[in-house]
Amino acid sequence: QVQLEESGPGLVKPSETLSLTCTVSGGSISNYYWSWIRRAPGKGLEWIGYIFYSGATRYNPSLMSRVAISVDTSKNQFSLSLTSVSAADTAVYYCARHRSVREMELWGQGTLVTVSS
């Protein structure tokens, strides 16, 4: 049974870089598209970007200038980097697997990241 688990610091200071990793267990990261999504307090879900196992990426235009997603197939992991964070980036961050490049068929439980000094 494939499972996804997000990991990383729960607290990041303003203007610094948020870094999270999603570890895929029980299956291979190969041949799939993988996304990061977030849910800010009191707000809806927001797609951040995706990466194909080959390394091809696409980002939400609203975040494109600050986001980078990378993949490490040897570790079965992919990672999110979000620069110059502010309180508006406080959210629960989820990783997810796509079916083809369409719906998100499998998600992690999410990890809360708070931006505060």
Pairing between β-strand 18-25 and β-strand 91-98 as defined by DSSP bridges: unpaired
Q: Which of 10, 41, 102, 116 binds another protein (CB under 8 A)?
A: 102
Name beta bridge partners: 113: 91
Q: What angle do CA 15, 92, 106 make, to 5 degrees?
A: 130
Token match 């439980």: residue? 109
Among 7, 21, 57, 60, binds another protein (CB under 8 A): 60
Cα–Cα distance between 114 and 108 in angstroms, integer?
Answer: 18
**Quick one: which of 108, 111, 113, 115 contacts another protein (CB under 8 A)?**
108
| Residue 66 binds another protein (CB under 8 A) | no
Contact status: 45 vs another protein (CB under 8 A): yes
Q: In the complex, what is the shortest distance from the CB of residue 117 to another protein, in angstroms, rounded to a whole number? A: 27
What is the pattern of x (binds another protein, CB under 8 A) and - over residues 75-94? -------------------x
What are φ and ψ of residue 71, in 5° steps? -135, 145
Q: Mark the segment that binds another protein (CB under 8 A) among 10-18, 56-64, 65-73, 82-90.
A: 56-64
| 109 is an interface residue for another protein by CB under 8 A | yes
| Tokens of residue 15, six digits | 């203007």
